[in-house]
Amino acid sequence: SGKDVFLSHCSKDDEMVPGVVDLLEQHGASVYADDFDQRLPDPPNPATAAVLRSEIQGCPRLVVLATENCHKSRWIPWELGLGDGFHNVPPNAILPATETGSMPPWIRTEYFHLYPKIVKLAGLWVVTLPSGPEWLSLHDWLRLAVR
């Protein structure tokens, strides 16, 4: 698809996808979201997995839209695992989106804690690194060479 960010999300959060795509594009990304891919069969079948695997491999970055619905998704762990296998940790990030805007407790206890987080600090969208207090602007993180 020629995109540089694969957006992994739960289908229950489809209404949030356009806003997340817009946020990432405002910071310089081109985003693949399966919601807009006419090649995907409904219901999903092995061809779905093949298309998604190819897109994840082709996008240098993967962002997970993390909501309370993530626990119900069978695709998010698979997609994140592929992204991790293809790209390793740094080019993948978690975008927590909760009703309160705060970091949900489960995001610190499951495998999500291994990845950088995309958050808003003092009005600026940044990517915080799991290793400590360091952060990069979202724009700079998206522009870093990852291959």
Closest CA to 146 of 114, 116, 110, 108: 116
Structure confidence at residue 134 (pLDDT): 85
What mean pLDDT value characterizes the chain?
87
Element (H, E) at 53: helix 46-58
For 76, the token pair is 């998010």
Rounded average pLDDT over 37-57:
90
Closest CA to 24 of 142, 112, 144: 142
**pLDDT greater at residue 65 or residue 97:** 65
Measured in residues, the chain has a length of 147
Rounded average pLDDT over 22-49:
91
Rounded average pLDDT over 90-118:
76
The percentage of residues in the chain with a pLDDT greater than 70, rounded to a whole number, is 88
Regarding beta strands 61-66 and 92-96, do their DSSP bridges make them parallel or antiparallel, or are they unpaired? parallel
Structure confidence at residue 133 (pLDDT): 78
Structure confidence at residue 102 (pLDDT): 61
3-state secondary structure of 109: helix
**pLDDT greater at residue 103 or residue 115:** 115
Helices 46-58 and 75-87: angle between axes, nearest 10 degrees: 40
Q: How far is residue 54's CA from residue 1's CA, in Å, rounded to a whole number? A: 9
**pLDDT greater at residue 74 or residue 145:** 74
Kindly report the pTM of this predicted structure: 0.90
The single-letter DSSP state of residue 65 is E
Structure confidence at residue 101 (pLDDT): 58
Q: How far is residue 137's CA from residue 15's CA, in Å, rounded to a whole number? A: 26
Residue 54: pLDDT over 90: yes
The single-letter DSSP state of residue 39 is T
What type of residue is 73? S
Structure confidence at residue 109 (pLDDT): 59
